[in-house]
Chain A
Amino acid sequence: MNTPRFFLFAFLTSALAMSAFISTAAEPTDRCCALTPLDAIAPADAAVTTLPDKSLYLLDSSWKNQHDQTVKLADYSGRPVIILMGYLGCQTACPLLLNKAETLLAELPEKDRSQVKPIFVSFDPAHDTPTSATAYIAERGLECSGWDILMGTPDSVRELAAILGIRYQAQADGNIFHSNIISVLDDSGVIRAQLLNLSDEPRPVVEALKGLTR
């Protein structure tokens, strides 16, 4: 058994792997754009024929995304999703909520991260528009993780919030008080984990996401 030669081989391979890692890590912008664009990933089982009884995708509501396209929630089936609700004019909790969601994504290995679709649903369809949503995504550098911002009707927003266990109330000054909940959906739209509070331990949510990626 040629032990020294084996060690040399192992050393060289791991060095090679590490240098590959270092070179990608050194160029954060490249790393971001090197991710497969989410929409290019063909979900293997996108056509989920019968949705589970607790699937969010049973909701028939229509939404506008930041590209001014009409989408149904079921359009997101076939991949894990993290979904939260906020509004673009929010100066306090929503940026923290988004940061928290970004942190959760950052905890995932890169191959897993690129499979997760993050969705921000607006509480404020009267003020938030596809144009302001596009600007928001650019300002906050949310393109990399592939955020979609959805705008619905007051009714569909109320309904989705009820399903996600989110409470909100518009104030006279235009602010909206709301709960800060981040939900993880599996590829058929069933809630698998929730971060119920910004200060909650993120590990269960991260683990749930890892379990849902391929």
Chain B
Amino acid sequence: MRAAVYPLLLALALAPWVSAQEPVPAGMVLIPAASDPAQTAQPTPEPVGAFYLDIYPVTNGEYLEFVRANPAWQRSNVKRLMADARYLQHWAGDLELGAAAEELNRAPVTHVSWFAARAYAAWKGARLPTLAEWELAAAASATQPNGDKEPGFRERILAWYARPTPPIPASVDLTEENYYGVRGMHGLVWEWVGDFNSDLMGIDSRGGASGDGPLFCGGGGAVDGDRTDYAAFMRRALRGSLKGSYCLTSLGFRCARELTAVPINPSQL
């Protein structure tokens, strides 16, 4: 009986070392599990486990590689079920970025639907982050996991929301990294999440109303979360107005990935 315990103890002792061997996927960073679910500014206070997240949003240049390898996702082939008529409308053709190619190359890809974003992520062996994961990573300022504690953090985000959308978003290289090493969570484009349609903004809590109900007015009454975080509220309002086939001027995405082995915090042993 007791003998059976020793391998287990050994395994536990080795666990931090073993997990440290797991290489972080290229272009991604590890976002540790959320200690305080409330910091994720998301509707369901569910704990968020550790995951990998792209440092940068996916660029036009990267997306071009995807459509080259997957002709079904080229502009003239895509099914309207999966992407509306605005899909990649800012490109010159199926495989041409056009005159602004140089600028577009490192700018986040936009005019992509949720289905397209999912297909890209699957092609990369990744997935879209969940709403909770995205909000967790987005809650960090440059110096802290919870940016709310940093003066001016929320105000800077809101100031971006107030600026008009430029015809071409800035290069992802110009963004600053946050506490986790993630860049461009705010200030570039809005981003799809895997469960964007889990946001019940506009649906009352009895589930009696339609998904296309009031989006910016009373609809928020049924949702939880920090109501002083107006930036998070605005993101929720946007998600509440989206359909999976929408392709918008300022809506892009980035990928996330599961951990294959969950690192164990040595302090918990």
7 A-B contact pairs sorted by A residue (CB < 8 Å) = A59-B81, A92-B206, A162-B114, A168-B197, A177-B200, A179-B210, A197-B208
Interface string of A151-194 (1 = CB under 8 A from B): 00000001101110111111110000111110000000000000
Residue ranges of B at the interface with A (Cβ–Cβ < 8 Å) = 43-46, 79-82, 114-115, 118, 194-200, 202-203, 205-212, 240, 243-245
Within 8 A of B (CB), among A24-66: 53-56, 58-59
Cβ contact within 8 Å between B208 and A180 = yes
**Interface residue from A59, A165, A197 paired with B209 (Cβ < 8 Å):** A197
Bound CA–CA A152/B232 (angstroms): 31
Tell me if B46 and A169 are in contact (CB < 8 A): no
Q: A162-B244, A166-B197, A170-B44 are contacts. A56–B210 as well, Cβ < 8 Å?
A: no
- Residue of B with least CB distance to A197: B210
Q: Considering the chains assembled together, what is the distance between the CA atoms of A122 and B83 in angstroms?
A: 25
Q: Which residues of A contact B196 (CB under 8 A)?
A: 162
Complexed CA–CA distance, A168 and B43 (Å): 12
Contacting pair B44 A167 (CB below 8 A): no
Q: Which residues from B are CB-within-8-Å of A197?
A: 208-210
A56, A181, A198, A199: the one contacting B211 at CB < 8 Å is A181
Decide if A177 touches B46 in the complex (CB within 8 Å).
no
In addition to A55-B81, A170-B44, 13 A-B residue pairs with Cβ atoms within 8 Å of each other are: A53-B81, A54-B81, A92-B206, A158-B195, A163-B81, A165-B243, A166-B197, A177-B203, A177-B205, A179-B209, A180-B209, A181-B210, A196-B212
A-side interface residues, number (CB < 8 Å): 30
Option from B81, B118, B207 in Cβ contact (under 8 Å) with A177: B207
Contacts of A161 in B (CB 8 A): 197
A87 to chain B, nearest CB (A): 11
Which A residues are in CB contact (< 8 Å) with B80? 53-54
- Whether a CB of chain B sits under 8 angstroms from the CB of A93 is yes
Residues of B within 8 A of A165 (CB): 211-212, 243
B198 touches A169 (CB 8 A): yes
Give the complex CA separation of A147 and B114 in angstroms.
Answer: 30
